[in-house]
Amino acid sequence: GPQRPPCPQNAEYGSCSLRKMGAMEALELLDQLVDESDPDVDFPNSYHAYQTAEGIRRAHPDKDWFHLVGLLHDLGKVLALFGEPQ
């Protein structure tokens, strides 16, 4: 297939030289963010991650990898706290 152009975010963040964190820390950081796609929500962003994971777990109890994807699906939004646009 066609080659994709280099990603500037990969050059900036790929080395993890700015900050390293675990998934749980990133989930906590999400709570500092006002999500532009849903600014009027009155519960923490991490709650949405847990809700999504739990909904997937109920619907697909045998797919533990899918539960994890539900929990982590919005973690990239923490980059907005480091100056990236949402």
The model's pTM: 0.75
Contact 50, 23 (CB under 8 A): no
Question: Is the residue at 69 inside a domain?
Answer: yes
Quick check: 44 and 30 in contact, CB under 8 A?
Answer: yes
Q: Would residue 45 count as lying in a domain?
A: yes
Task: Give the residue numbers spanning the domain of 63.
Answer: 21-82
Domain assignment present for 3:
no
Domain annotation covers residue 66: yes
Q: Tokens in use for 66? A: 């899918």
Which residues are annotated binding-site positions? 48, 73-74
In a domain, 44, yes or no: yes
Residue 62 lies in a domain: yes
Ranked by mean pLDDT, the top range of 17-26, 27-36, 37-46, 49-58 is 49-58
Token readout for 77 is 């939004």
Count of domains for the chain: 1
Annotated binding-site positions for Fe cation: 48, 73-74
Range with top average pLDDT, 13-27, 37-51, 70-84: 70-84
Residue 2 resides in a domain: no
